[in-house]
Amino acid sequence: MKQILKYLLFVFMTVSAGCAQKPAEETDTGSLRIVTTLFPYNDWVAAITENTGTPVQTRFLLNSGSDLHSFQPSASDIAAISECDLFIYTGGESDEWTEDALRQSSNENRIVINLMDVLKDHLKEEEMKEGMQEEDHEHEEETEFDEHVWLSLRNAQLCCEAIEEALSSLLSDESSLFKENLENYVRQLQQLDASYAETVQNGSVHTLLFADRFPFRYMIEDYGLDYYAAFAGCSAEAEASFETIRFLAEKCDELQLKNILVLESSDRRLADTIINTAVQKDINILELNSLQSMTQKDADQGITYLQIMENNLEILKKAVN
């Protein structure tokens, strides 16, 4: 039923977009127009196109802090996809609406990057870890892959290489600059990746506990960590059962954890409940940023993907020590 409603809403938005007229001041035929779904992809584009001679207009659609898993495109979103030169999206289950948007567009010159296609040999299947809250609905038999690919610095390198290749094909005169920017950016990603690996290697804790959804599977598997969590990364559940709470509280005691983790948007109530249920009470709540609730305001303030991942590293240092 949920998918049917999403489809009907998409049809309505598509018709609305077809009837809408784009304001003249937004039209700039001399600019390269790039649309992405999420902040990380938008920021990668900005890094690779820095100091180009050709004006580059970028826009990420989930720019108001809306949830990735329930996002619905507006008429202007669909129009932007139709008219852009490059469209970049994750390609997971939450992006099913993009397939219809792309089919409706007659822009033959546009390049489309499905990042899960780029990362096809590095994708990980969604999993239900022991103790996780079960979904109310039955899962389809079709294999589903974890969508949160941007939370791996190693995935980011591969994605940026694909983005640079697309940009160079669109603006061949700028290709040498794109390649130089890519090399500089990948070097920063690799340095940060090495810092993450060193942090985990030197840490005394190798199992993390999330009192929240868990979108960090790519990150923790990059560094050989284990985890327990209340919900899967794409779970629509909001309330944990007593069994889940008890299981996680017992894990806190068993592993003698001094820290448990939540996402940036958490109200921390579940974390508090788990701590209150555990025998030991001296447990801190740490917050990792999944970059799923980034806004246009954040981007305008100059916040970058690298900055957030560096901040996450500082949190991880506390969690593993």
CA distance linking residue 107 with residue 280, whole number of Å: 60
What is the separation, in whole angstroms, between the first and last Cα of the chain? Answer: 46
Joined together, the tokens standing for residue 273 give: 């409940």
Joined together, the tokens standing for residue 263 give: 């996402």
Return the pLDDT at 108: 84
Domain ranges of the chain: 2-131+144-192, 203-319
CATH number for the 2-131+144-192 domain, one of 3.40.50.1980, 1.20.120.330, 3.40.50.2300, 3.40.50.1360? 3.40.50.1980
* Edge-first strand listing for the sheet containing 284-288: 226-232, 207-214, 259-263, 284-288
Output the CA torsion sign for 262, 45, 298, 78.
negative
- 228: β partners: 209
Q: Tell me if residue 32 falls in helix, strand or coil.
A: strand
CB atoms within 10 A of CB 104: 16
Q: Tell me if residue 57 falls in helix, strand or coil.
A: strand
Could you give the angle at the alpha carbon of 259 between the alpha carbons of 254 and 265, nearest 5°?
125
User: pTM above 0.85?
Assistant: yes
Q: pLDDT by residue for the chain (321 residues), tens digit each?
A: 444 444 444 444 443 444 433 333 344 457 899 999 999 999 999 999 999 999 999 999 999 887 788 788 999 999 999 999 999 999 999 999 998 889 887 788 899 999 999 999 999 999 999 999 987 655 556 788 999 999 999 999 999 999 999 999 999 999 999 999 999 999 999 999 999 999 999 999 999 999 999 999 999 999 999 999 999 988 877 789 999 999 999 999 999 999 999 999 899 999 999 999 999 999 999 999 999 999 999 999 999 999 999 999 999 999 999
Q: Count each helix (H run) and each strand (E run) in the chain, helices first.
A: 12, 8
Do residues 49 and 178 make contact, with C-beta atoms less than 8 angstroms apart?
yes
Do residues 185 and 153 make contact, with C-beta atoms less than 8 angstroms apart?
no
CB atoms within 10 A of CB 97: 21
For the residues of 85-131, what is the DSSP string, one character each?
A: SEEEE--SGGGHHHHHHHHH---TT-EEEEHHHHTTTT--B----TT
CA distance linking residue 54 with residue 171, whole number of Å: 9
CA distance linking residue 282 with residue 250, whole number of Å: 14
Return the pLDDT at 37: 97
Do residues 84 and 57 make contact, with C-beta atoms less than 8 angstroms apart?
no
Return the pLDDT at 103: 85
Joined together, the tokens standing for residue 150 give: 């941007």
Q: What is the CATH number of domain 203-319?
A: 3.40.50.1980
Q: Is 205 exposed, middle or buried (0-12, 13-18, 19+ CB in 10 A)?
A: middle
Longest dimension (CA), the chain: 64
Output the CA torsion sign for 315, 316, 319, 321.
negative
List Cα–Cα distances, 238 to 120, 122, 135, 136, 172, in angstroms: 30, 29, 10, 11, 48
Q: What share of the chain is helix, strand, coil (3-state, %, to 5)?
A: 50, 15, 35
Do residues 287 and 263 make contact, with C-beta atoms less than 8 angstroms apart?
yes
